Amino acid sequence: MSHQHHHAGEGDGHHHGHQRDLQRKFRFAVLLTGLVFLVELIGGILSNSLALLSDAAHVFSDALSLILSWLAIYLSTRPATNSRTYGYHRTEVFAAFVNGASLLALSVWIFYEAVQRFMAPEPVKSREMLIVAIIGFAGNMLIVWLFHGEGHRNLNVRSAVLHVIGDALASVGVIVGGVIIYWTGWFIVDSLLSGVIGVIILVGAWRVTKESTYILLESSPDHADADKVAQRIGRIDAVKDVHDIHIWSLCSNYYALSAHVLLEENTPKSSHELLQQINTELQIQFGIFHTTIQIEHVGCPHEGNLLCNAPHH
């Protein structure tokens, strides 16, 4: 049998250049978000608007989210070490998990305050509320535009952008609420808006927390579970069996695989040729570039067992 390892390292220069560009974007976004937070906090206090204060709290979480994500982007560029053999890729997932958990806690606080304000509505200065909300919306949309397209490739960036998108939607609600209060004097709208903001935050937080938890628990990506991958490898000529397979995500866009592949007897192709074919299939079909595949020519005790159910000690 032969034990072979494959890691695609093409495009590393482009990758690091992109990481530096991301860091510059995060630096600008953190400064802008901090400014928006101060404006909304002061505006919420002066206007006595719970919706605006809720939005300010969301913006504050945006700032923390962006700082964590910025730190994760930086750490992910650091090389592997003897104690961290995969480097720091997983830090971006941890940052996404912290972001999601913080949003869940924030939504609970907003719901509580919204109920209190609903039971006892307080006067709100709608004009100040409206002006500050427009400023907040403009700042958030600028950040969303800045990160356009980045979230599709990176869970960490997507978690940060979700914060900002949710806040932009919340700002729209506050703007509408400010108009309604200005023309009708229905101060109860302020508490209702806070509840809506809480729901927006909760939905985004749940998605990010769920996805990051799956990765932290070494789950395989949705598009590449063990059955799908084994079936694809099994279609290659000369492959008799695939077993002891492991598939996991190091981060949101970096997948790894290890497996035993048993070959048919007297196959005309060499192990090296078949290994290249397997890796090509994994790259094209599943986006898996980091593989450790053990090629076998005779059966092993795990043959026929797709997964390795090792006992926990």
Q: Residue 229: its pLDDT value, please?
A: 92
Give yes or no: residues 26 and 67 share one domain: yes
Residue 4 within any structural domain of the chain: no
Residue 75: pLDDT above 80? no
CA atoms within 13 A on the CB side of 161: 20
Answer yes or no: is 65 within a domain: yes
How confident is the prediction for the chain on average, in pLDDT?
A: 81
Do 212 and 230 lie in one domain? The reply is no
Q: Are 230 and 100 found together in one domain?
A: no
One domain for residues 122 and 256:
no
> In the chain, which ranges are E strands?
2-7, 239-251, 254-263, 288-296
Q: Are 164 and 252 found together in one domain?
A: no
Do 103 and 186 lie in one domain? The reply is yes
Q: Residue 113: pLDDT above 90? A: no
Report pLDDT digits (tens) over 197-208.
888 778 878 888
Residues spanned by the domain of 288: 226-296
Express each pLDDT in 214-272 by its tens digit. Answer: 888 888 888 888 899 999 998 988 888 898 899 998 877 788 999 999 888 888 888 88
Q: How many domains does the chain divide into?
A: 2
> Do residues 115 and 37 make contact, with C-beta atoms less than 8 angstroms apart?
no
171 lies in the same domain as 275: no
The SS3 call for residue 240 is strand
Where is average pLDDT lowest: 51-60, 97-106, 184-193, 296-305? 296-305
Give the model's pLDDT for residue 2.
46
Has residue 312 got a pLDDT over 70? no
More confident residue, 251 or 115: 115
Best CA proximity match to 111, nearest among 216, 245, 201: 201
CA distance 229 to 208: 25
Same-domain pairing of 175 and 251 = no
Higher pLDDT, 76 or 64: 64
Among the ranges 20-24, 169-173, 218-222, which has the highest mean pLDDT value? Answer: 218-222
The CATH number of the domain holding residue 272 is 3.30.70.1350
Q: Do residues 259 and 284 both lie within one domain?
A: yes
Q: Out of 164, 193, 216, pick the residue that ends a domain.
A: 216
